[in-house]
Structure 1
Amino acid sequence: MGIDYSSAKKLIRHASEHGMGQRVLMLGRQRMQVKDRLVPALDRLLDELKLDMTFADLQQEDGYTETFFKALGATTVDSLDISDFEGANLIHDLNAPVPDDLPRDYDLVFDGGTTEHIFDVATCMDNLNTLLAPNGMLCACSPGNNWFAHGFYQFGPELVYGYWKHGCGFDVLDCVMLPEMPRDKELAIPDPASKGTRPRMRGKMPNQRVYLYYEVRKGAQAHRWNRALQTDYVRKWGDHEVASDKDDGEFAEMRRAQTQAASKAETS
């Protein structure tokens, strides 16, 4: 995949609100894939955010996107892939743990459509955690609805909350259903722990391809995952333990921790 209109818009806003960071890693060497008719909308966004550039300043002749990230603030832009067929400068299969000789100090890792092609999801996600510096951020634009047969998986918001937030202690900065084309609006997806139920998307999903777009930060409470469980099931199991007079049960405690984390995020 690459950086299209929707992901470019989100990354430009991210750079304006949070900064791009000095060291950026692309998963796969990303190409720019913004349709010409949508360029004026991105120019208006850059002007709205008071960024002294046009979209033309973010492009490079070979169609790749190192210039895009550097214009938005990055100093170093690397790309990691299993093959150098597109010119990635770091070669590694993310199905296997990252070796010690790969950098582990990236301020931002961008997944523009790579992780759904990697069969060993647990190892892949753990690798991304390893590659991030403290306070580093992962920005991901992963295929969601209507991408059947694109890769091994189509990820949902439970990856963001059940794994990154509650499984690894990361801060969630953004989690939305993001339409590929601008005729439909993005839809924010809250932490299921806040209500104890799964996000209900019936009647809200547009009839076009959509992404799961999310931004998570490796904050002070972040750690490597040792267990990731689906959020709404943790609530059910925890409720069962409480009803069985097991207030100190494993899932009752986990449910309380998830609820507190969700409440803290909503009030911050």
Structure 2
Amino acid sequence: MGLPKPSACLLLREALRRPFSGRVATLGRQDILFDYAWLRRTAASMGVALCPAEITLHREPTLALRGFLSDDSFLKSLGFAEIVRLDYSDFEAPDCLLDLNAPQTPEHLRQRFDVVLDGGTLEHVFHLPHALRHLFEMLKPGGRVIHFSPSANHLDHGFYMFCPALFWDYYTANQFEINTFYLYRYRPTRDHWEVYQYQPEALAPAIRWGGLDDAMYGVHVVATRMATSTGDRVPQQGWYLKRWQEAKSQGPLKPGELLTEPPGTKARLLMDLTRSHPRLHRLACQLIVRWRAFINRRRQARRRGLGLKFIGRY
């Protein structure tokens, strides 16, 4: 799995928020796609003090010729004392074999790690519930899971491209603390990512329904295992949980009544005025829906971008 410069910048940003230490498990061996001079310069510009580490080059000769670092050098420079590489196959000489599709986490890996780093492995694992449970089981309480995962326009890269809601709802349901949640946009021909702060339901409506451009998108998540965290709770999608709660708080609907009209709004006033005339009431409801659709189309025609807070370019 590869860690390009933007991934390194986001890891440095996390190190600034909460310094790294202890033991890290990486899902697969990480290909570090930059040299030490770049790392030292970038860390200094971000205010991150690198830890002393032996500087060795990448194990692949073609990448070593470009001066790219070994994963040991990079991760120890971030502050980790021990790196354990996990993989299903021994093809890249991991430190430990682990099938993320398997239902049980080996005892010697349970609660052993301060950080579990998924640099782009999860999309290649078929059994996601088992894989996510392994990440939970391997973390110490207070440990962090870090994801860099594809979200859109990675056709045939892996089994999955992840909607951000998958991670948000899973970690929320299992009582993790979500520390960082970014959506990033990039092109393979460019050396930077555009990074945005993700929040549920914050994406522009036109984006959610076929409005993405031809760039590639990914999700970066940092979540902390708390004392009450679990790994086996099956989440319901947050969008529906919110709708169900709204419906419950509003009570049963009357015939023809729209669900989401709060008291005091013009739409609610129109519905109240026409309620005693069923046919007119239905027409009023249809008018409200069509008017909103028209207004949304006009707004989206003038609005560009994802509708999310821009964090930076890395």
TM-score, normalization by structure 1: 0.79
Aligned to 2:23: 23
Match of 1:186, SS?
strand
Match of 1:135, SS?
strand
Gaps of 5+ in 1: 246-268
* Greater mean deviation of Cα atoms: 70-79 or 153-162: 153-162
Counterpart pick for 1:137 among 137, 141, 144? 144
Aligned to 1:255: none
Task: Kindly state the Cα deviation for residue 98 of structure 1 after the two structures are TM-superposed.
Answer: 1.2
Counterpart pick for 1:222 among 205, 226, 229? 229
Task: Kindly state the Cα deviation for residue 52 of structure 1 after the two structures are TM-superposed.
Answer: 4.9
Counterpart pick for 1:170 among 171, 176, 186? 176
Aligned to 2:3: 3
Aligned to 1:199: 203
Counterpart pick for 1:48 among 41, 45, 48? 45
C-alpha distance after superposition, 1:5-36 (max 9, x if no partner): 111111122122211121100001111124x7
Structure 1 pair 99–115 and aligned structure 2 pair: CA distance change class (3 A): same
State which structure, 1 or 2, has the greater radius of gyration over its C-alpha atoms.
Answer: 2
Task: Kindly state the Cα deviation for residue 51 of structure 1 after the two structures are TM-superposed.
Answer: 3.9
Task: Kindly state the Cα deviation for residue 244 of structure 1 after the two structures are TM-superposed.
Answer: 3.2
Paired residue total: 235
Gaps of 5+ in 2: 61-69, 253-314
Aligned to 2:156: 149
Match of 2:183, SS?
strand
* 2:247 equivalent to 1:244: no
Alignment partners' CA distance in 2, 1:226 and 1:209: 30
Match of 1:101, SS?
helix
C-alpha distance after superposition, 1:185-209 (max 9, x if no partner): 211101x2xxxx3633746856422
* 2:67 equivalent to 1:67: no
Contact 1:22 1:74 in 2 (8 A): yes
Counterpart pick for 2:83 among 74, 77, 80? 77
Task: Kindly state the Cα deviation for residue 82 of structure 1 after the two structures are TM-superposed.
Answer: 0.3
Alignment partners' CA distance in 2, 1:202 and 1:5: 31
Task: Kindly state the Cα deviation for residue 219 of structure 1 after the two structures are TM-superposed.
Answer: 2.0
Structure 1 pair 103–77 and aligned structure 2 pair: CA distance change class (3 A): farther
C-alpha distance after superposition, 1:71-129 (max 9, x if no partner): 11100100111011101111011001212132422100100111111111111101100
Aligned to 1:188: 197
TM-score, normalization by structure 2: 0.68
Alignment partners' CA distance in 2, 1:130 and 1:13: 26
* Greater mean deviation of Cα atoms: 65-74 or 207-216: 207-216
Alignment partners' CA distance in 2, 1:201 and 1:59: 48
